[in-house]
Structure 1
């Protein structure tokens, strides 16, 4: 496990809380199944051999986002006692200053900053311990995501019980998405007369009836959902200066997407062919050469329930990331204004905003095109596949 970038709040889990411009190896941790990076805090879900899963949190804790019943920073990964004989956490998510946890049985817990209603507990208070969102009742949540000041929960039908918890996502039927927190840029997907509001209880995102979705995504003021057949719907803040979308709209493309990563001003999309495309990105050189022509997009996508929200292909400006010819990409991640990917050969590549060293290239310069990150052992780099995770100004690479 390696880390680099902004570290002054302890988010790199290093003994020296400073920015790091080159990858730094972390002390030994249990095998990590998931990592979620927020504004300046990190949540890890571990899978120790022959032991129950464990949650570790570290970094900035000023609003209770670490879940340890205090408002202090933690420079070291610290176990979070959310697991019990009745609760097993299966997914974690991190926003700017808040956190969310999804249990194997489909219950959702949140903690941290609640001043915009992003915790979903019916108040605007911050909570320093994870609390279950009671308004969902027995509905089975399948996926969660946290943006800067909002949260999303994906449901795929059914109610919570021990039998349902063992079902695959494909068996749970069509989806519904609920959002809470700030909706000022349309990121909650509610009706136009409510779009400027703050919601401290979950609101149904409109226009997704009949959609078969597999995951939700959030960052900044953006929201997105990926369907089982590889289509992407977005709502919230517009990309490349396009108008905000109050309701989900389909991205017109013949491509089939398998992974999505959202930043503050851009989105990365990975196709089933291992190619990376992007939306937005007009600051800090975080994406492509501005002279590169935009990808010709198709409007031949078959009709779907969400197309009534009126997507405009010319607003999307979907582009292919340059400099990757001959490289098949297997993993992507997006920070606030930087990006990272992993190729099938095990190369980690970064580009975008570099002020805190979050590109891992030994400097603080911005990079317009992907650059290879050099680790301490160059041989090891090509024989192990990493997964990458980005916070607002820091990056992790995990084997």
Structure 2
């Protein structure tokens, strides 16, 4: 609003123009399983507002919500503080990683006064970017790259000794405590349940029939035996990882990630055990576990202990002012490399063991574990380097999110596409059939909706969408004395229609709902997008944790 304040008699006095901006309060809502958020560890089946305590020193308003977190939540306050909450002391590494913050949201102690602009959490590690483009990471030690480790200077203890002593003390205290809840959750998280069937369809295909199951689908590509072997290996690996706890590893304190001089990071993403960050010029960097190719380095490097540039586009075309380039791993049907629109990366996402990036021209590239089709390449093979999702070429992708076994993306037209594992309906296709190619969601609930932001939890998905509506204008020379109905093409041209997007913001969730992470008031899984009731405010951003969901919303004061 513009207010003109005229003072005096107009002689020698100037009009003072005062701009008054409408003040809107930003709220954060949470639902799902955050064991330390409520007494008796009750799951939150419906949205509940999260309040910042005045004593936190983080102000009283929110800036953004952050994805990830296995048993804990993260968000950013308006003052730029990273806020964590919801964990309990029997969650081992996750509890340490969250800063041991339970029911009360509190600032996480980072060794910087700079404001945090983006943050993300994996299973038991976190990463955050500051306003100056610096990156800090902490948590599970194998996820932390080489760099300067910060300790509390007041203790006079070396950082390494401090980490070891604190971890040893913590494990001693927790060694005899029962961990039934957390072990069951981790088992749920990593153990595959139910039969997996694969369907290969085009993005616009609707109502395709499922294939005969994983064996027949794999055999049709000549890889049934190898696929079965990989599933057995995967199951063994999942069981081993489910039994891994903080007893076996050390938790690292926040450290400043060392990157090349001049590199400034704009956004971050965290997977199960790997991390991707994106610089302000569109270059992707990665580190951590890469055994399935999720770091995109072209091989199965089990552990990358220092940040490496991920070759999403040709190195000669990594800057924003370069032309389109050849995608690494992109092949046509005759085996020839094809050119992918774009010259730099503008969006990143990390799943459990796979990754996805978007170029400036809207091309989607995926890499990593492909057992459930989560790379969208029409197969269940792992992708060891960024590979263009060819079936989406011609569709401009604007946003992407990745879960444990699935991937969801949104187009510039507001459509939602999903692919990968679908055991709990997390793809939103109306079935439990996995998809190895992107599938356009055509659920009635999304009709006339324009998806704006997307997020994935371990096995659930969420989207914020606006309502589409049509405005009609009649041309000035329309003759009402002659025409009462549109009868020919000329008359049609006299009517101008404009498609508008209302900024009302609606929230839709689907997939696994054992702990109320869909926010629908029950624990029933959904295989199609279902609207979450949010009254009195406008949803702005959504962020899924592994068992919970956070929503950023605005309401006029």
Common fold: TM-score over 0.5: yes
Partner of 2:346: 214
Shift of 1:396: 1.5
**Residue of structure 1 equivalent to 2:43:** 19
Pick the structure with greater CA Rg: 2
1:228 aligns with 2:360: yes
Which residue in the other structure is 1:276 paired with? 416
In the alignment, the residues of structure 1 paired with residue 112 and residue 296 of structure 2 have an alpha-carbon distance, to the nearest angstrom, of 34
After superposition, what is the alpha-carbon deviation per residue over 1:316-355, rounded to whole angstroms, capped at 9, x for unaligned? 2433352211222222211111111122133211110111
8 Å Cα contact 2:70/2:123 also seen in 1: yes
- Give the one of 53, 73, 78 matched to 1:42: 73
Query: Quick check: 1:318 aligned with 2:318?
Result: no
Aligned partner of residue 424 in structure 2, secondary structure: coil
For residue 548 of structure 2, the aligned residue among 371, 374, 394 is: 394
Q: How does 1:1-399 map to 2 (within 5 A)?
A: 1-8=28-35, 10=36, 13-14=37-38, 17-28=41-52, 30-36=60-66, 37-47=68-78, 52-60=79-87, 62-63=92-93, 72-82=100-110, 84-85=112-113, 87-114=114-141, 117-121=142-146, 126-134=250-258, 136-155=260-279, 169=280, 172=281, 175-192=282-299, 195-209=300-314, 210=317, 211-238=343-370, 239-240=372-373, 242-252=380-390, 253=392, 254-287=394-427, 288-290=429-431, 315-323=436-444, 324-344=446-466, 345-375=504-534, 377=535, 380=536, 384-399=538-553
1:198 deviates by 1.6
Structure 1 residues 82 and 348: alpha-carbon distance in aligned structure 2, compared to 1, 3 A threshold: same
Alignment match, 2:173: none
More helix by share: 2
After superposition, give the CA deviation of every residue in 1:101-135 in whole Å (9 maximum; x if it has no partner).
11222221101112xx3211279964453110235
Separation in 2, partners of 1:149, 1:285:
24
Structure 2 residue runs without a partner (length 5+) = 1-27, 54-59, 148-159, 161-247, 318-342, 374-378, 467-503
What is the CA-CA distance between 1:94 and the residue it aligns to?
1.0
Shift of 1:144: 1.6
Checking the alignment, whether the CA contact within 8 Å between 1:339 and 1:350 is kept in structure 2 is yes
- Number of matched pairs: 343
TM-score by length of 1: 0.78
Unmatched runs of 5 consecutive residues or more in structure 1: 156-168, 295-314
Using the TM superposition, give the Cα deviation of residue 82 of structure 1 relative to its aligned residue in structure 2, in angstroms: 2.6
After TM superposition, give the deviation of residue 186 of structure 1 in Å. 0.8
* Residues 331 and 177 of structure 1, relative CA distance in 2, 3 Å threshold: closer
Q: Deviations over 1:270-309 (max 9, x none)?
A: 1111111112232112221349998xxxxxxxxxxxxxxx
Stretch moving more, 335-344 or 202-211: 202-211
- How far residue 26 of structure 1 moved from its aligned partner, in angstroms, is 2.3
Instruction: Note the C-alpha offset of 1:358.
Output: 0.8
Contact 1:67 1:130 in 2 (8 A): no
| Matched-pair contact (CA < 8 Å) for 2:351–2:406 | no
RMSD: 2.7
* Contact 1:182–1:198 (8 Å) recurs in 2: yes
Rounded Cα–Cα distance in structure 2 between residues aligned with 1:64 and 1:118: 13
Kept in 2, the 8 Å contact 1:64–1:127? The answer is: no
